[in-house]
Every structure is written in C-alpha cells, then in structure tokens.
C-alpha cells in the first residue's frame, strides 16, 4: 500500500462523489494516515477526533474486505477508540469480523448524502435575516461550534480549535448566522468547496428558537450562495433525523447516496 495519492485515487473516489465528497477533500490535505493501492482500497485519517474514511469498490470481494479489516488492525485502528465511515457492505463485514477478535462494533450513525441542483424557496418565510460573520462574531461562533458538535455528539474538539475553525471560516467568508428581529443570533450554517461541490455544514438552531423555520431559510440562502459561486450544493445528514431531512428535501435537496459510521 502506498502512502501517497494521485489522480487514480481522485478518480476512484470521484465515482462516489456524493457519499465520499468529504474524503475527496481531506485526502488532499494533511493526514495522519493515508494508504491506497490506487485500485480497490483507500484509507484516509486526518487524526482524532475524526473518523477514519475507508473507500472500497462497490463489488468488493470478501478477500478485499478482509484486507481492509487487517489494514485497519495493522495500523492500530481497531483499538476501540476509532470510528469508521464506510459503505454498508464493508461495515457489516467489519462488525462480523471484529467479533472473531473479541471486539464489538456497531453502526452509530446512518448517513444520507444529498445534493441540490435546483434550490426551492421555503414555503414559510422566517422573521429576521441572514448575517455573514465577521471578526466581531468570533466569540459567538465558538459557542455555535460547541453547541453543534455537542448536539451531534461527534468530532468534538477544544474551544481553542473551534476558535481556529471560526477564524478560518470568517476569513473565507463562508459562515453565516440567522438574526431574528430582536437582534439575537439563533441559527448557524457554513460551507466550503469540495472540488466541484460546495459542502454545507454547521447547521444548528438554538433549542429555544426551533420550529420557527430559521434553519430552513438560512440553509436555503446559503445554498443559493454556493450555487451562485459555481458549486453544486451538497450536505450530509443523519438518516435517522426524519424532520431535518424533510426540511432539506422541501428546499430542493435530493438523496444521492448512503453510508454509515461504525465504532
């Protein structure tokens, strides 16, 4: 297995561009672990607290899935402290195979990948307006990052790292908040380019302001910004959050792929 990636890998992941768009982005940057045979198996891990991404071909054989499992084991990833984002077939194999080693793995999150080629204006217009974040909003954004990650219960980091993330987002001009008529910031949304796609995230509404269509309107407006910037808007959701997914579908998001997280 090589520790570098090239156009062969980008092409393989590109064939699964919806479910593996995040992997396509992070594998080009700094990674703690990057392994590939350039044909059937690709590993990518930026470091804790993030999940290990494993790409396999749709027609992966049992021998190839065993190779993926042993690669994870040989690289000290089967220690109970790591999570994996992968296709369902490989997830089932990992869960079954881990039992033979006395380990228990289970699916922790079912993920849907959506894109939005034609945004649809929300039926209900929320009160207030969208606000593009500036340096004056950094402290507030740190709170939103923390609230978001606490809510989804994954990828938690320190407030210092959240501050760095907020500063990067402000510098890129890609983080937005929804401001209600009373001047309170009630919801957040951000995006970043991932090749030809614009990946939307940090979608969060403060608990006391939910069911007022703030997130729906904010995501719609950010989706339009992504589209106008020349990217295809896309996002990941927890498949089990039915209400959230219906909200995205109402504004034009279309389900394109499925994968899961095990740990």
pLDDT digits (tens, 9 = 90+) for 216-244: 999 999 999 999 999 999 999 998 888 88
Across the beta sheet with 33-36, what order do the strands follow?
A: 33-36, 41-45, 52-56, 84-86, 254-262, 107-115, 232-238, 197-205, 185-194, 175-179, 129-132
Predicted confidence (pLDDT) per residue in 112-133, tens digit: 999 999 999 999 999 999 999 9
Q: Which domains does the chain have, with CATH numbers?
A: 7-105 (no CATH), 115-256 (3.40.630.30)
Looking at the chain, the whole-number percentage of residues with pLDDT higher than 90 is 92
Dig out the tokens for 254 from the structure: 């279309």
Degrees, nearest 5: CA angle 192-53-80: 125
Instruction: Specify the pTM.
Output: 0.88
Query: 237: closest CA among 114, 135, 121?
Result: 114
Q: What are 130's strand-pairing partners?
A: 178
Q: Over the Cα atoms of the chain, what is R_g? A: 19
Dig out the tokens for 109 from the structure: 């999150």
Contacts of residue 83, Cβ cutoff 8 Å, sequence gap at least 6: 51, 52, 108, 154, 261, 262, 263
Q: What pairing do the DSSP bridges indicate for beta strands 41-45 and 197-205?
A: unpaired
pLDDT for position 7 = 96
Per-residue confidence band for 17, with pLDDT thresholds at 50, 70 and 90 = confident
* Burial of 177 from C-beta contacts in 10 A (0-12 / 13-18 / 19+): buried
């Amino acid at each position: 297995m090589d520790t570098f990636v090239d156009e062969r890998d980008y092409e393989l992941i590109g064939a699964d561009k919806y479910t593996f768009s995040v992997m396509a982005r992070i594998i080009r940057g700094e990674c703690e672990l990057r392994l590939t045979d350039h044909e059937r198996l690709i590993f990518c891990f930026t470091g804790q607290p993030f999940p290990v991404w494993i790409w396999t071909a749709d027609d992966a054989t049992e021998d190839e899935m065993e190779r993926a499992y042993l690669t994870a084991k040989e690289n000290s990833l089967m220690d109970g402290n790591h999570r994996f984002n992968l296709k369902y077939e490989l997830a089932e194999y990992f869960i079954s195979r881990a039992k033979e080693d006395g380990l228990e793995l289970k699916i922790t999150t079912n993920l849907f990948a959506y894109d939005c080629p034609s945004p649809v204006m929300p039926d209900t217009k929320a009160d207030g307006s969208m606000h593009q974040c500036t340096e004056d909003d950094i402290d507030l954004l740190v709170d939103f990052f923390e609230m978001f990650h606490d809510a989804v219960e994954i990828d938690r980091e320190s407030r210092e790292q959240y501050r760095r993330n907020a500063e990067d987002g402000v510098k890129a001009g890609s983080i937005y908040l929804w401001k209600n008529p009373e001047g309170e910031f009630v919801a957040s949304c951000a995006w970043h380019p991932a090749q030809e796609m614009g990946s939307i995230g940090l979608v969060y509404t403060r608990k006391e302001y939910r069911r007022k269509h703030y997130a729906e309107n904010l995501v719609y407006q950010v989706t339009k910004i992504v589209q106008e910037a020349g990217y295809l808007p896309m996002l990941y959701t927890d498949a089990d959050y039915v209400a959230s997914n219906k909200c995205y579908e109402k504004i034009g998001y279309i389900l394109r792929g499925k994968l899961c997280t095990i740990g």
